[in-house]
Amino acid sequence: MKKLNLLMPNVHTGYLGTRRKEKVRYLSIPSGLSMKMIHEDMKTGEVIFQGLCEQLKKLPCRTVVIRTSSEEVGLMAVSYLAAAYNKMDHSIGMFDEESDDGLSESAEPEADEEYDEEYDEDCLDGDAYASELWNENPARVPIIEMSEIRSFTGMDNFSLFQDRSFHMQGNEHAGRNDPYWTNCGWEPVCIMCRLEGFGSPYMNFNDSIGGYFQNNRHIYIVEVRNEFCCDMSIGGAGDDPDGGYEDEEFVRMVLEEAAAVVDLFYEDKGKGEKLIQYRTVQFENWIEACGLALSKEFPTEKIVSRILKMRNRNKSELMGQILKYMQVQGNVSGTVTEKDFDILSRFAKIGAEAKTENSSAAKLEKQLFGMESVKQQVREIVEVQRYQKRRESFGLNKGGYHNVHLLIGAPGTAKTTIAKLMGNMMSEAHLLPGNRFICVNGADLKGLYVGHTAPKVRQIFADNDIIMIDEAYSLTAQCSGETGDSFGQEAIAEIITQIEDHGAEKLVMFAGYGGIDVEPGDNLMKTFIDSNPGLKSRINSTIYFESYTPEQMVEIVHIQAKNQSFILSRSADPEILRYFQERISDRNFGNGREARSLLENAMVFAAARVGKIPAGKIKKRQLQEITVSDIKKALERMRKGNLMQMGKARKKIGFA
């Protein structure tokens, strides 16, 4: 069994002895973690930590941004990085003599416990004034929320800390209302940045956040993105061909700080098998850490896969909690068997029935306007899968229902959104092995040379649980020469094989332009279905997406504005309605995409309007308001754009 030296980040919580008992959260850095141990862990967990491994090959960097969708992974990366940098800094003499607390290669892991005892004596139980000061130590890295820093420094519209005028004027200690981290002036700090979708937390970084920590040896920024941010690629690497970033403020911060950026996004990148292997090693190490052993022929990968599809993103912590629960509540000791993990089914059922505000089922109802027939079909498809699962739990044959569906309709009718929600609903109900989602264009499935297409399709099916093939008719589009067309036929043949073999355990969707209201020559999805006799018989349901009415488009504009934290007056509704009444008859009408386009055009005029206000006088509401005038100007611009796209009609010559 491979040995992992760090199973999960060692996070502690304590309270300073102030009148308001200030909460302190910090990372304990294992001083016994040698460079050799770190590189061993990096090699085992390369599927997750490859970017970090590359960073460790370079000289220590003062500011490092670690971007991930899991707080646990981010804090593990900080633990590895801080342990390595402590040793590197020590070797080049960056430590003061007084702060050198046994960080040599020969230090034992137990040294961390000594640091914890010092922390208790110096910070938690000291006298009233001394206990307000954080006792800096390279083996303890405070975890500070970026939102708290921005609030304290006045970068947000409100402050969690009052009476801070003395501190802000640069005078002496401002008293009991200053947060503890204002005393973190030398040792490393970890700033937790939680991206929720809109706005840049890096605005004026050096004037606010960076200004407080300008002398610290290292600043570790853990940028945790929620699901929405990952989908929208806000500020993400790879957003342009040169590997740039969308967030201008982030770019400025990276340049000013000469910061390193480490991406630790490992989901949905064709790494499913390697990820299972790493998590299996992690699980086996947890078994040993809990004093347990696995029975002979224990289905380790099967159990690990079940744990990974649970919604908790801190997977290693979840493994430890499950094993501890088994020991306490199940009296499990010694050798564990597969039966001991039956509790996972109990938790899965609880999760499957939960109707939380953030669940995909709730999002289907609240975030999508209209589309009642589509929603009903989605609910029915999910319920069929749940029915099949229940039959299987009673030992009954669950039948041959294949989870393969056709999504047809005009562009901009939320086909991709529905596909993701349906997949997430099934994943949350534990009806799929996981929630790895991929959306590919039909043309992307074609290989570069003969024999390349089929393996490419097989890999996509192997690496993903939810597969959406958009513009599927591009597989049957006529290409130059017979070879190009044969690639499409090869792809379709392999798709049929895959849905026959795996259609019951995965969710497969074909999407594109078509439907009953489309002219026969434009019904591209019919061409796709007719291209192979085996396709139509394997599609279990067809979901038709109707174009939105002008009234629905008005509501969609308001929904999108609300989702983007804009304030849009209902006084603009008549103008918006009139525009979409004109647009709906156009065969190129883009449905929901045109609602987004309207907001983006309105933002141009809102930005020009707010730009005339002196910077120091701009209020939050002014950055949220979209006025009727902004909407009118945006609609005028869009009308002109539509006319220019149509081109000038040729004049007729002759006699009436």
Distances (CA, A) of 387 to 84, 264, 328, 392: 52, 37, 33, 9
Mark which of 336, 353, 370 sits at the end of a domain. 353
161, pLDDT greater than 60 = no
pLDDT per residue over 494-508, tens digit each?
Answer: 999 988 888 788 899
Q: What DSSP line would sit under 350-414, residue for residue?
A: HHHH---TTSHHHHHHHSS-S-HHHHHHHHHHHHHHHHHHHHHHTT--------EEEEEESTTSS
453 and 496 in a single domain? The answer is yes
184 and 148 in a single domain? The answer is yes
Say which range, 56-65, 144-153, 269-278, 348-357, has the weakest mean pLDDT: 348-357
Q: How many CB atoms lie within 10 A of CB 384?
A: 16
Highest mean pLDDT among 96-100, 177-181, 521-525: 177-181
473 and 393 in a single domain? The answer is yes
For residue 642, give its domain range: 550-646
Would you say residue 7 lies in a domain? no
484 and 606 in a single domain? The answer is no
Mark which of 243, 263, 283 sits at the end of a domain. 263
DSSP classification of residue 19: T
CATH number at residue 518: 3.40.50.300
Higher pLDDT, 393 or 654: 393
- Please tell me the predicted confidence (pLDDT) of residue 443: 78
In the chain, the amino acid numbered 311 is: R
Would you say residue 654 lies in a domain? no
- Please tell me the predicted confidence (pLDDT) of residue 272: 67
474 and 397 in a single domain? The answer is yes
Would you say residue 12 lies in a domain? no
299, pLDDT greater than 60 = yes
Highest mean pLDDT among 15-24, 162-171, 310-319, 489-498: 489-498
Mean pLDDT of 339-352: 65
155 and 277 in a single domain? The answer is no
Whole-number mean pLDDT of the chain? 76
Tell me which residue has tokens 């206990």.
Answer: 131
Would you say residue 656 lies in a domain? no
Any residues with CB less than 8 A from the CB of 548 and at least 6 apart, and which? 370, 413, 556, 591, 592
pLDDT per residue over 346-369, tens digit each?
Answer: 665 444 444 455 677 777 877 677
28 and 145 in a single domain? The answer is yes
What backbone torsions phi and psi does residue 20 show, to the nearest 5 degrees? -100, 10
Q: pLDDT class for 92, splitting at 50, 70, 90?
A: low
Total domains in the chain come to 4
CATH number at residue 637: 1.10.8.60
pLDDT per residue over 194-249, tens digit each?
Answer: 775 445 667 666 655 656 788 888 999 998 875 434 433 333 333 343 434 456 77
82 and 220 in a single domain? The answer is yes
231 and 144 in a single domain? The answer is yes
Residue from 359, 415, 349 nearest 227 by CA: 359
15, pLDDT greater than 70 = yes
DSSP classification of residue 617: G
344 and 367 in a single domain? The answer is no
Mark which of 484, 517, 545 sits at the end of a domain. 545
Residue from 280, 346, 340 nearest 308 by CA: 280
pLDDT per residue over 591-641, tens digit each?
Answer: 888 888 899 999 999 999 999 988 888 888 889 999 999 999 999 998 888
Would you say residue 651 lies in a domain? no
Would you say residue 341 lies in a domain? yes
Would you say residue 493 lies in a domain? yes
pLDDT per residue over 504-562, tens digit each?
Answer: 888 999 988 877 666 666 677 888 888 888 888 888 889 998 888 889 889 889 988 88
pLDDT per residue over 409-441, tens digit each?
Answer: 877 888 888 888 898 888 888 888 777 888 888
Would you say residue 2 lies in a domain? no
Higher pLDDT, 92 or 187: 187
106 and 216 in a single domain? The answer is yes
Is 320:355 a contact under the CB 8 Å cutoff?
no
- Please tell me the predicted confidence (pLDDT) of residue 547: 82
Sign of CA dihedral 283, 286, 287, 288: positive
DSSP classification of residue 606: H
Any residues with CB less than 8 A from the CB of 333 and at least 6 apart, and which? 291, 292, 327
Tell me which residue has tokens 């983007």.
Answer: 564
Q: What is the dihedral of CA 570, 571, 572, 577, to 10 degrees?
A: 80
Say which range, 128-132, 138-142, 564-568, has the weakest mean pLDDT: 128-132
pLDDT per residue over 433-483, tens digit each?
Answer: 777 888 888 778 887 777 788 888 988 888 888 999 988 888 876 543 444
560 and 464 in a single domain? The answer is no
Tell me which residue has tokens 């869009």.
Answer: 638
Residues 273, 269: Cα–Cα separation, whole Å:
11
pLDDT per residue over 572-594, tens digit each?
Answer: 899 999 988 888 877 778 788 88
Q: Kindly tell me the burial class for residue 52, based on how many C-beta atoms sit within 10 Å of its own C-beta (0-12, 13-18, 19 or more).
A: buried
Residues 556, 534: Cα–Cα separation, whole Å:
38
Q: How many CB atoms lie within 10 A of CB 515?
A: 19
